[in-house]
Chain A
Amino acid sequence: MLEIVSNKLNPQVLPHLHIWGFEVPVYLFCGGIAAGLLVISSAMLIVKKDHEDLRTLQLATLLSPIILSIGMFFLFLDLEYKSHVWRFYTAFVPTSPMSWGSWLLLGFYPFALLQAMILYKDKLPRIALLQALVIQAERWKKHIAVLNVHIGAGIGVYTGILLATFYARPLWSHSVLGLVFLLSGMSSAAALMLWIAPSTGKRQYSMIDMYLLSLEAFAITVLIIGGITGSANTRTAMLDFLAGPYAPWFWAVTLFGGILMPLALETLETLGKVRFSPLTPLLVLVGGLSLRFVIVYAGQEAATFY
């Protein structure tokens, strides 16, 4: 027999880690969509010469910082020492993904907003300084878009790497998690753009989302293979994830309902077999949110590194 008795009390680490509630997955989801919107809209500004569907690009660029702000509000709710939130900006710690993320988020706003102002220049208030800024910035429109692709990708990867560097938590400790969250954020963003696009412009966003969902499914497969072929720690955590209490959510809502089913629907919609339905992007968004919830919750329930 082996019996271990402990009089440790600390509730946040017993019987397993449970420090992060719904706020963190919501923040990671919002951060992922905001990053995806910025990457896709900026990339389209770079590669496309004429923008038939300018309204969708305008909305995507505008929604990106708004959705990020909603996410950051949830992150703020999660902080235990809220009055010290400004302390994130008193240091830069290169080994801490959270520190990288804090500074990247700071860089996100000025350039995302500048891009939105360029796209909405006709609707801006007639303030001389603002108009002058937009006229100057417009000359650098493509350079700003290139910068925004990189900032957006950085934020998207960060939402996964944030968890992946905690090697004490075996389910999270995979570098591919950064790629999974980036692709998931981008596919959710493409789904949102598909939703808001006019019927004439839906096909291109549907095709973008199909590619992204396929890549996401591939990245999740790599994550699973990496887990079950890893050390005893990671194998146990991954098997618990695949067959434990969060398994129905993962298989049914995230993988089937949030990736495979919308992928099939988008294929049919793009081929013109069925009409574009708001159900398809809704499924992708629910799947993206579900992915963050199951990973954050199941990762905390996995046994600490042993």
Chain B
Amino acid sequence: MSRERKYAMIIDTKRCVGCSACVYACKAENNVPHGFCRDWIVSITKGTFPDLSLLNRSERCQHCEDAPCVTNCPTQASHYQGDGTVQIDRDLCTGCKACLAACPYDARYIHPQGFADKCSFCSHRIKDGLNTTACTEVCPTSCLTLVDLNSNDGKAEALMKGREVKIDKPHAGTKPKLFWLV
């Protein structure tokens, strides 16, 4: 019996330069329509001149373990795929927008064709055994890494070792799976 996978993404904010290559790679890979995006960059500047700090964060769907989009979806279009990712079955989606209202990360949008859409961790690439996403492939500073938390390869542990790891809105209780190294 094969081991159950649990995909997550580790994002090194010290390496991210906010170039948006991940955003455009995703748009090209996933045919994201004009005027929408599945991932985006948030730049946070803090402090008083000249003591300023800049944090760049590449953001996307958090593929939560307790995802409110899944619990609120009336047709099971939003579902757990069994590999740690949250996916949308377009054939089941009615475009009711309950998932958009439910998401505390505002990670979703309605595709012009009528279904809800969001980052899938490039599930088609994972299915092909690539174990990378378009954004991780294109990142010029290698700040994005897709990891399997159930793997014994030590990849996630090596990246997180000695680093402060943050997740977004932990108090939402959704157990998100984007980990920012700050």
Contacts and interface: CB of A to CB of B under 8 A. Distances in A.
A80 B110 contact: yes
B32 to A, nearest CB: 9
Chain B interface size, under 10 / 10 to 19 / 20 to 34 / 35 or more = 35 or more
A80 B95 contact: yes
B104 A168 contact: yes
Contacts of B108: 10, 13
Interface residues of A, number: 43
A271 interface: no
B106 A93 contact: no
B41 A19 contact: no
Given A1-B45, A19-B97, A10 B76 contact: no
Nearest to A9: B37
B167 to A, nearest CB: 14
A127 interface: no
A10 B36 contact: yes
Interface stretch (B6-14, B66-74, B121-129, B132-140): B66-74
Given A80-B110, A82-B114, A95 B100 contact: no
Interface of A: 1-14, 17, 19-20, 78-82, 84-85, 87-88, 90-91, 93, 95-99, 102, 165-169, 304-306
Given A3-B45, A91-B76, A304-B106, 13 more contacts: A2-B45, A80-B115, A81-B95, A85-B94, A90-B75, A91-B75, A96-B73, A96-B98, A98-B98, A102-B74, A166-B68, A168-B101, A304-B105
24 contacts: A2-B45, A3-B45, A7-B23, A8-B59, A9-B36, A11-B109, A13-B106, A13-B108, A20-B97, A79-B95, A80-B96, A81-B113, A82-B95, A84-B114, A88-B94, A90-B92, A91-B75, A96-B74, A99-B74, A99-B75, A102-B74, A166-B101, A168-B104, A306-B169
Interface of B: 20, 23, 35-37, 40-48, 52, 59, 68, 71-77, 91-98, 100-106, 108-110, 113-115, 169, 172
